[in-house]
């Protein structure tokens, strides 16, 4: 007899990282330069993420955290041993496109790059950890940006399809769970990390973004198609930066605005999961003079090759208002700022902490798509200071995660089909938004600072032992 509040058997507990934030070795074994390799920490980072890249090569005097990151490229065995010790059932990683096709448009793949991921997946297998693999997590080969304009250009679809087919064929016996584009809706907010977009003067940004989005959506459908042709039993998901938008007041204008804000994000998943452009998008394009160029075959591809499950990240809910006075009080978040929610606290980086919003968001997504959900990111970015004994007592992180897992459990009790949970950055990695090391999510501490100093040595935090117990008890022991 199943207990009402038990997690399903075989629930995929684990953690999630991305190539560009963990691997380092940015030019090792033939890897090409990627967009993230041109993102420094500090004040020049944000303008680039918005689409104004000053140079196609790293610049003197800047520090680029992806170049070495936490050196996962050379230390993955040690790190996987620690994940295995916590009992991970799954590890989410991403493949760096430029390790496989250094320029993106190469004829042949780079064998050393392919071999690296073979070694990584073998090591996971040895430890009974199921890989969950993202094809594109914020990194585009720079050559494709320079020569083709990245996802502005329809040619990217073909290059991406070739890359996807190459890795599906190579790892067909090793990887069953895939995600196409990480946080695909990020493209609208940080177009450089979402899609490698660099704008020229006078360019209509909104037009360009939606054209690039269309190209990614078609590429995603082609990846779903190829995966199902190549890998028996495969599961391919989309990935949404989720988090419900609340209206600040019951003023219908605010409610309408909240609905519109959510639809900006749902737009992508509506296409990837329901297989067609939603009607509200057509109106939005018309009202904003956006003309998305499509080819005849696109419509059928989008319809025929929808995703098998909905992957999403959840860090915060958001608040919106149409009242200019209310709008003045804002806080930050993982894709865009939000109005401060007077009922909730925020993290040290200003991200709203809303465990119940997690349950609400999961229900909202399940109501909308009726497909299995996979929580592929969640966590608290915080400063960790070792105590006098050199230990890190990150009880604040445990509190955050416990509250969120309880709400996830409630969502499951509501009937939402959730197949797994991979918390973000189970080992400290580079922050995507700020490039800092100081913003840590891990159960495992990495000795490295914002400037790249430190031994890179790994050590266990308090939360390491807590998460191990959570997994051991399949979520009963929170």
Q: Is 411 in the site for ligand BG6 (CB under 6 A)?
A: no
CA atoms within 13 A of residue 316's CA, in its CB half-sphere: 24
Q: Is 466 in the site for ligand BG6 (CB under 6 A)?
A: no
Query: Of 98 and 301, which CB lies nearer to ligand BG6 in the complex structure?
Result: 98
Concatenated DSSP letters of 149-204: -GGGSTHHHHHHHHHHHHHHHHTTTT--EEEEETTGGGGGTSHHHHH---PPTT--
Query: Of 87 and 357, which CB lies nearer to ligand BG6 in the complex structure?
Result: 357
Closest CA to 121 of 95, 87, 157: 95
Query: Of 194 and 247, which CB lies nearer to ligand BG6 in the complex structure?
Result: 194
Using CB under 6 A, pick the residue from 334, 347, 409, 450 that binds ligand BG6: 334
Closest CA to 174 of 126, 214, 219: 126
Dihedrals φ, ψ of 16, to 5°?
A: -135, 135
Would you state the structure tokens that stand for residue 1, as one six-digit string?
A: 């007899």
Query: Of 318 and 439, which CB lies nearer to ligand BG6 in the complex structure?
Result: 439
> Which listed range, 59-67, 100-108, 428-436, 449-457, lies at the site for ligand BG6 (CB under 6 A)?
428-436
Q: Is 313 in the site for ligand BG6 (CB under 6 A)?
A: yes
Q: Strands, DSSP E only, in 245-337?
A: 245-247, 309-314, 318-320, 330-331
Using CB under 6 A, pick the residue from 377, 384, 394, 428 that binds ligand BG6: 377
Classify residue 244 by its DSSP letter: P
Q: Is 381 in the site for ligand BG6 (CB under 6 A)?
A: yes
Q: Is 34 in the site for ligand BG6 (CB under 6 A)?
A: no
Q: Is 424 in the site for ligand BG6 (CB under 6 A)?
A: yes
Query: Of 110 and 433, which CB lies nearer to ligand BG6 in the complex structure?
Result: 433
- Residue 147: how many other CB atoms lie within 10 Å: 14
SS3 414: coil
SS3 310: strand
Whole-number Cα distances in Å, 21 to 92, 216, 429: 13, 22, 6
Whole-number Cα distances in Å, 450 to 26, 162, 240: 18, 36, 28
Q: Is 18 in the site for ligand BG6 (CB under 6 A)?
A: yes
Strands 338-339 and 330-331: antiparallel
Q: What binding mask, one character per residue, do residues 218-247 give for ligand BG6 by CB under 6 A, x or -?
A: -----------------------x------
Q: Is 361 in the site for ligand BG6 (CB under 6 A)?
A: no
Q: Is 139 in the site for ligand BG6 (CB under 6 A)?
A: no
Strands 245-247 and 177-181: unpaired
CA distance 433 to 135: 20
Query: Of 183 and 354, which CB lies nearer to ligand BG6 in the complex structure?
Result: 183
Query: Of 141 and 333, which CB lies nearer to ligand BG6 in the complex structure?
Result: 333
Element (H, E) at 236: strand 235-242
- Determine the number of helices (DSSP H) and then strands (DSSP E) in the chain: 16, 14
Minimum gap (Å) between residue 346 Cβ and ligand BG6: 13
Q: Which residues share a beta bridge with 13?
A: 421
CA distance 422 to 17: 9
Q: What binding mask, one character per residue, do residues 153-182 give for ligand BG6 by CB under 6 A, x or -?
A: -----------------------------x
CA distance 471 to 86: 7
In the bound complex, which residue of the shown chain has the CB atom lying closest to ligand BG6? 433
Find the catalytic residue in 23, 123, 130, 377.
Answer: 377
Q: What binding mask, one character per residue, do residues 180-219 give for ligand BG6 by CB under 6 A, x or -?
A: --xx------------------------------------
Query: Of 321 and 431, which CB lies nearer to ligand BG6 in the complex structure?
Result: 431
Q: Tell me whether residue 377 is one of the annotated catalytic residues.
A: yes
SS3 127: coil
Q: Is 321 in the site for ligand BG6 (CB under 6 A)?
A: no
Minimum gap (Å) between residue 107 Cβ and ligand BG6: 31
Q: Is 446 in the site for ligand BG6 (CB under 6 A)?
A: no
Minimum gap (Å) between residue 190 Cβ and ligand BG6: 9
> Which listed range, 59-67, 144-152, 433-441, 454-462, lies at the site for ligand BG6 (CB under 6 A)?
433-441
CA distance 96 to 466: 31
Minimum gap (Å) between residue 413 Cβ and ligand BG6: 27
Instruction: Give catalytic residues, as residue numbers.
Output: 377
Q: Which residues bind ligand BG6 (CB under 6 A)?
A: 18, 21, 182-183, 241, 313, 334, 377, 381, 424, 431-434, 439
């Amino acid at each position: 007899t199943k207990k009402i509040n038990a997690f399903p058997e075989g629930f995929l507990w684990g953690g999630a990282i991305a190539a560009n934030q963990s691997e380092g070795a940015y030019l090792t074994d033939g890897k090409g330069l990627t967009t993230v390799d041109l993102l420094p920490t500090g004040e020049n980072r944000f303008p680039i993420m918005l689409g104004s890249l000053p140079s196609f090569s790293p610049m003197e005097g800047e520090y680029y955290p992806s170049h070495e990151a936490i050196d996962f490229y050379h230390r993955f065995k040690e790190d996987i041993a620690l994940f295995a010790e916590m009992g991970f059932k799954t590890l989410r990683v991403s493949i760096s496109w430029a390790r496989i096709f250094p320029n993106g448009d190469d004829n042949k793949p780079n064998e050393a790059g392919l071999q690296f991921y073979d070694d990584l997946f073998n090591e996971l297998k040895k430890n009974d950890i199921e890989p969950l693999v993202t094809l594109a997590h914020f990194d585009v080969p720079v050559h494709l940006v320079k020569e083709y304009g990245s996802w502005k250009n329809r040619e990217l679809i073909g290059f991406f399809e070739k890359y996807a087919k190459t890795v599906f064929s190579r790892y067909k016996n090793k990887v069953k769970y895939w995600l196409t584009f990480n946080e695909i809706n990020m493209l609208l907010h940080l177009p450089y990390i979402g899609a490698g977009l660099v704008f020229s003067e006078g360019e209509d940004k909104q037009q360009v973004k939606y054209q690039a989005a269309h190209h990614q959506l078609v590429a995603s459908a082609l990846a779903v198609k190829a995966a199902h042709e190549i890998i028996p039993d495969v599961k391919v998901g989309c990935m949404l930066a989720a988090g419900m938008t609340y209206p600040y007041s019951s003023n219908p204008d605010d409610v309408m605005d909240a609905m519109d804000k959510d639809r900006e994000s749902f737009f992508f998943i509506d296409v990837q999961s329901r297989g067609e452009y939603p009607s509200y998008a057509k109106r939005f394009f018309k009202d904003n003079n956006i003309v998305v160029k499509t080819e005849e075959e696109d419509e059928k591809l989008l319809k025929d090759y929808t995703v098998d499950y909905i992957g999403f990240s959840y860090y915060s809910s958001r608040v919106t208002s149409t009242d200019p006075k209310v709008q003045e009080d804002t806080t930050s978040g993982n894709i865009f700022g939000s109005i401060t929610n007077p009922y909730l606290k925020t993290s040290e980086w200003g991200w709203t902490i809303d465990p119940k919003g997690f349950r609400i968001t999961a229900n909202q997504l399940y109501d909308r798509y009726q497909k299995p959900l996979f929580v592929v990111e969640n966590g608290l970015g915080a400063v960790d200071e070792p105590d006098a004994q050199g230990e890190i007592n990150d009880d604040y992180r445990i509190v955050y995660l416990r509250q969120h897992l309880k709400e996830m459990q409630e969502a499951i009790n509501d009937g939402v089909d959730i197949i797994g949970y991979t918390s973000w950055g189970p080992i400290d990695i580079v922050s995507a938004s700020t490039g800092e090391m100081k913003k840590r999510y891990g159960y495992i501490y990495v000795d490295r600072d914002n400037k790249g100093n430190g031994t890179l040595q790994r050590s266990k935090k308090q939360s390491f032992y807590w998460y191990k117990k959570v997994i051991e008890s399949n979520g009963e022991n929170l």
